């Protein structure tokens, strides 16, 4: 209603960042729920860059994580995958992801979708106002979760509750290493890709 006559509506673009090692149905349900509830035109999944140093566990190769994310999202016309963080390389910072996507889609309104755990890390960042200038933040939580949003500007964050929150990539990797099935936790094509590439067989690799 505030829009000047004749001006096109801004496209609403969801941004779902993650390691996606592997992508699972928790990610997909969350993205689908936010897409519908916030009337997003598209949700772009953005696999993180490859860390230079090993900080703890070795993350799977960026191309494997990228391809699994493509396989998982290919059938949904509203889902896509971006290589910005993979092509930049190194550790991914949300400010860089959002700056690059803003440069690529200057007319789009950005909605950054993140789980409550990742949201708390982001909110502890000292230049958080720069993030809120670039995107609206949507925190995906499990029922009953309370966010400490004392220092958050009004309207900068929305919280929504989604089903399937119990699935994690950590658990999927542990299941593969223990020879337990990951069918129905990740899309069928991702199960097949994990087998084809022998991912997660050796937890210390
Ligand atoms: P890991 O166990 O390795 O930390 P993960 O399952 O948390 O992996 P990430 O790639 O780290 O997956 O998560 C990407 C984004 O998706 C983060 O914002 C995270 O909070 C969110 N997320 C992870 N699991 C779920 C889930 N089951 N439901 C909704 N959101 C999720
Ligand atoms: Mg995580």
For residue 123, the model assigns a pLDDT of 83
Instruction: Determine phi and psi for 108, rounding to 5 degrees.
Output: -90, 150
Give per-residue pLDDT as tens, 162-202: 876 689 999 999 999 999 999 999 999 999 999 999 999 98
How many A from CA of 157 to the centre of ligand 1? 18
Q: Please tell me which residue, 201 or 2, carries the higher pLDDT value.
A: 201
Q: Where are the domains of the chain?
A: 12-166
pTM of the model: 0.92
Closest atom, ligand 1, to C-alpha of 20: 10
For residue 4, the model assigns a pLDDT of 66
How many A from CA of 2 to the centre of ligand 2? 38
Please compute the mean of the pLDDT values over residues 143-147 and round it to a whole number: 69
**Size of the chain in residues:** 205
User: For atom 22 of ligand 1, which residue has the closest CA?
Assistant: 115
How many A from CA of 10 to the centre of ligand 2? 31
Give per-residue pLDDT as tens, 34-74: 999 999 999 999 999 988 765 567 899 999 999 999 999 99
Ligand 1 contact, 137 CB (< 6 A): no
User: For atom 7 of ligand 1, which residue has the closest CA?
Assistant: 168
Closest atom, ligand 1, to C-alpha of 167: 27
For residue 153, the model assigns a pLDDT of 72
CB atoms within 10 A of CB 189: 15
CATH architecture for the domain at 12-166: 3-Layer(aba) Sandwich (3.40)
Q: What are the start-end ranges of the H helices in 38-187?
A: 62-73, 84-88, 94-104, 116-123, 128-134, 169-177
């Amino acid at each position: 209603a505030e829009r000047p006559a004749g001006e096109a509506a801004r496209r609403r673009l969801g941004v779902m960042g993650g390691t996606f090692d592997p992508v699972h149905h928790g990610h997909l349900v969350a993205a689908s729920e936010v897409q519908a509830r916030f009337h997003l035109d598209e949700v772009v999944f953005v696999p993180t860059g490859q860390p230079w140093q090993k900080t703890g566990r070795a993350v799977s190769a960026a191309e494997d994580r990228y391809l699994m994310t493509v396989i998982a999202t290919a059938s949904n016309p509203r889902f896509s995958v971006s290589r910005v963080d993979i092509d930049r390389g190194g550790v991914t910072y949300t400010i860089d992801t959002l700056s690059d996507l803003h440069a690529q889609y200057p007319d789009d309104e950005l909605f950054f979708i993140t789980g409550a755990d990742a949201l708390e890390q982001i909110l502890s960042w000292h230049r958080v106002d720069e993030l809120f200038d670039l995107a609206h933040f949507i925190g995906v939580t499990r029922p009953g979760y309370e966010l400490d949003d004392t220092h958050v500007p009004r309207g900068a964050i929305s919280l929504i509750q989604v089903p399937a929150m119990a699935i994690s990539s950590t658990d999927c990797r542990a299941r593969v290493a223990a020879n337990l099935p990951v069918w129905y936790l990740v899309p069928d094509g991702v199960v097949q890709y994990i087998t084809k590439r022998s991912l997660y067989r050796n937890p210390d690799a």
